A and B are shown apart, each in its own frame.
Chain A
Amino acid sequence: MNNNVGLQRTDIVEIDPTFLFRWEEPQRAYVLLYPEGLVKLNSTAGEILAVVAQTVAVGDLLDNFIAKYNNPDIADDILTFLEASNERGWVRIKR
């Protein structure tokens, strides 16, 4: 188990397989369901996790968002969010 929160560009990330992540039409949002709880994600967080749900390398994910929004500054925010999600156990490094 990796207790080191810092994510590397080469890390492949995925949603914890015991969680359920999907678009929920009545909420008009992505939701994450797990034991004893649920999270309704704001549009940005949902957009990021929707990419993580495809199982992806951190570096590729960052590059795609930078290109999509034509803004290199968002990389830090996205990485912070991914690391917080890893810390919370929503997202894990695939090995």
Chain B
Amino acid sequence: MSAAGSESSVSAPVKVDGEGLPLWLLLELTYRCPLKCPWCNNPLDFDRYRNELTTEEWVDVLRQGRELGALQLGFSGGEPMQRRDLEELVGEATRLGYYTNLITSGMGLNEQRLAALQRAGLKQVQLSLQACDAELNNRLVGADAYAHKIAAARAIKARGFPMVLNVPVSRYNIEQAPALLELAEELGIEYVEFANLQYYNWALLNRSDLLPTREQLSVAEAVVAETRARLGRRMTIYFVITDYYAERPKACMKGWGNIHLTIAPDGAALPCQEARVIEGLKFPNVRDHDLGWIWHESPVFQKFRGESWMQEPCRSCPERGHDYGGCRCQAFLLNGDAASTDPVCGKSPNHHLIEEAVAAAMAGRPQNRLIMRQRGLNVA
């Protein structure tokens, strides 16, 4: 008799066998947000999406998601607190049996709404924080946010929620890693995620200003290792080195259409949050199709599922079952072909694009010309 489980988490990429089910469902309730993060992974034309799903339509998505086998549910955005029906949606999700996660900047998360969310059965909160001094934090998000975020963190912990502190890492804030960890410890936060930026959308626009240096990363890594050793089980720290400095790509989404399903504010179903950057794909919408068809049958979800779409060098590579050839969005954005090998991979013929991007970023700095997330930006 032996007892074990197959485990999946962001830090330990052990495969959970989803048996082809969308175990992770992410609802981007809105693209609206009071902050202006210059790395925001929302689309550059976010303000063109005005036709958000209604409460009834989201409830229907929740019901269909559970029927398909979804278990982990994220409410994200934009800023999900902008939706006045969030409490109602969390309540419905709880009744349906999801593990509910709120992914928030903390803006609009006051004591009263937090209490209502807890009554509705919310299980966990992920709060983003950019720095542990008000001046830098507010500069990075383009608004007076620091005090709100700290108040939100205290309120979340006072109510006993397990909490993830998400720190989007750039060269501007990475040196605050020790102070951020101290703050997290003082607040009693169980999970800290140093999220190395994914360079799509706003982050790609600002890439050469945001990329940390290798030295900054190794210093931060050492601090993380020391803190892990000191705090043991009290805190789990996720620290994934940015793929621009890696030899192999990330196992993006654990495979396209494998366990992740994102629904965008307008009802478009996406294999990952960023997939809209790939031009020429027509994403199925929950207003037109049922979720079962979208997941199992729609051309977009089948397009990069499995391995048959792969080109060389991935096609014959022994590592293909491990990283699925990397990220389709990155392949499209940097190579112009979503079916090509992620250029982050040392085996990609385009790997020089990554090396050149790093070299250019290091040479041309500091520019301090961050383009903040904003409406109507003409990027042509």
Contact surface of A with B, Cβ cutoff 8 Å = 3, 18, 20, 22, 24, 26-27, 31-42, 44-45, 48, 69, 74, 77-78, 80-81, 87, 89
Collect the chain B residues with CB atoms within 8 Å of residue A44's CB: 1-3
The interface stretch among B9-17, B81-89, B307-315 is B9-17
CA distance A87 to B233 in the complex (A): 8
A34-B8 in contact (CB<8A): no
A32: contacting residue among B4, B5, B162, B190, CB under 8 A: B5
B71-A35 in contact (CB<8A): no
Collect the chain B residues with CB atoms within 8 Å of residue A89's CB: 233
Residue of A at shortest CB range from B101? Answer: A35
CA distance A32 to B11 in the complex (A): 17
Residue of B at shortest CB range from A82? Answer: B3
A20-B3 in contact (CB<8A): no
Residue of B at shortest CB range from A74? Answer: B1
Report, nearest first, the 4 A-B pairs whose CB atoms are least far apart. Answer: A37-B9, A33-B99, A26-B69, A81-B3
A sample of 6 more A-B contacts (CB under 8 A), given A18-B161, A37-B72, is: A33-B71, A35-B163, A35-B191, A36-B191, A37-B9, A89-B233
Collect the chain B residues with CB atoms within 8 Å of residue A41's CB: 5
A39-B5 in contact (CB<8A): yes
Chain B 51-82 residues near chain A, CB threshold 8 A: 68-69, 71-72
Residue of B at shortest CB range from A43? Answer: B3
Collect the chain A residues with CB atoms within 8 Å of residue B124's CB: 18, 35
Q: Known contacts A18-B124, A31-B71, A33-B71: does B99 contact A38 (CB below 8 Å)?
A: yes
Q: Known contacts A74-B1, A77-B3: does B72 contact A38 (CB below 8 Å)?
A: yes
B1-A42 in contact (CB<8A): no
B97-A22 in contact (CB<8A): yes
Chain B 15-54 residues near chain A, CB threshold 8 A: 16-17, 19, 21, 23
Contacts between the two chains (Cβ within 8 Å), count? 86
B3-A18 in contact (CB<8A): no
CA distance A27 to B5 in the complex (A): 13
B16-A38 in contact (CB<8A): yes
Q: How far is the CB of B258 from chain A (nearest CB, A)?
A: 14
CA distance A74 to B1 in the complex (A): 7
Collect the chain A residues with CB atoms within 8 Å of residue B5's CB: 32, 39-42, 45
Q: Is B351 an interface residue (CB 8 A)?
A: no
Sample 15 A-B pairs with CB under 8 A, ordered by A number: A3-B233, A20-B99, A20-B123, A22-B97, A24-B71, A26-B21, A26-B68, A27-B69, A32-B5, A33-B71, A35-B124, A38-B23, A39-B6, A39-B7, A42-B5
Q: How far is the CB of B25 from chain A (nearest CB, A)?
A: 12
B3-A27 in contact (CB<8A): no
Collect the chain A residues with CB atoms within 8 Å of residue B11's CB: 36
Q: Is B331 an interface residue (CB 8 A)?
A: no
CA distance A83 to B108 in the complex (A): 41
Residue of B at shortest CB range from A33? Answer: B99
Collect the chain A residues with CB atoms within 8 Å of residue B193's CB: 36
Residue of B at shortest CB range from A65? Answer: B1
Collect the chain A residues with CB atoms within 8 Å of residue B8's CB: 37-39
Collect the chain A residues with CB atoms within 8 Å of residue B2's CB: 44, 77
Chain B 98-157 residues near chain A, CB threshold 8 A: 99, 101, 123-124
CA distance A95 to B126 in the complex (A): 28
Residue of B at shortest CB range from A89? Answer: B233
Q: How far is the CB of B236 from chain A (nearest CB, A)?
A: 8
Q: How far is the CB of B79 from chain A (nearest CB, A)?
A: 20
Collect the chain A residues with CB atoms within 8 Å of residue B345's CB: none
B16-A39 in contact (CB<8A): yes
A42-B99 in contact (CB<8A): no
Of listed A18, A34, A36, A69, residue having the most chain B CB within 10 A: A36
Of listed A24, A37, A45, A48, residue having the most chain B CB within 10 A: A37
Q: Is B164 an interface residue (CB 8 A)?
A: yes
Q: How far is the CB of B116 from chain A (nearest CB, A)?
A: 19
B16: contacting residue among A20, A40, A81, CB under 8 A: A40
